[in-house]
C-alpha cells in the first residue's frame, strides 16, 4: 500500500493531499476485521501471498507481459482521476 501511495504521489502530485497519510497497524486490522467489511478486505489483502512470479509463463510459453505493475497503477489512477 505504501508503494502504491508513493507511486501515485510522484506521478500525480495534484492528488497527494487526497492520499492516506496514516496506515492502521496489522494488529488493529486483525482485531477489527470481523466488524467491518472494508477492514475485512484489508485483512484479506494482508494475508494473501504477494510473492508470485510469472517466470514459468515466460520460460515455458514465451509470454511477455504487456505492462508493468507501475504502469497498471498509473493507468488505474488516470481512469479514476475524473471522478476524484
Exposed, middle or buried: residue 7 (CB in 10 Å: 0-12, 13-18, 19+)?
middle
Question: Quick one: pLDDT at residue 32?
Answer: 93
CA dihedral 81, 76, 20, 10 (to 10 degrees): -90
Q: Per-residue pLDDT tens for 9-56?
A: 888 888 888 888 888 898 999 999 999 998 999 899 888 887 888 899
Question: Quick one: pLDDT at residue 60?
Answer: 94
- Give the pTM: 0.54
Q: Per-residue pLDDT tens for 67-83?
A: 888 888 888 888 887 77
Question: Quick one: pLDDT at residue 84?
Answer: 65
Copy the grid coordinates of residue 7.
Answer: 507511486
Question: Quick one: pLDDT at residue 28?
Answer: 92
Amino acid at each position: 500500500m505504501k508503494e502504491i501511495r508513493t507511486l501515485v504521489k510522484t506521478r500525480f502530485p495534484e492528488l497527494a493531499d487526497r492520499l492516506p497519510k496514516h496506515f492502521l497497524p496489522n494488529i488493529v486490522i486483525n482485531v477489527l476485521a470481523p466488524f467491518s467489511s472494508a477492514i475485512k478486505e484489508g485483512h484479506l489483502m494482508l494475508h494473501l501471498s504477494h510473492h508470485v512470479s510469472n517466470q514459468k509463463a515466460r520460460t515455458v510459453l514465451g509470454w511477455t507481459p504487456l505492462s508493468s505493475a507501475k504502469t497498471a497503477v498509473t493507468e488505474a489512477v488516470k481512469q479514476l482521476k475524473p471522478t476524484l
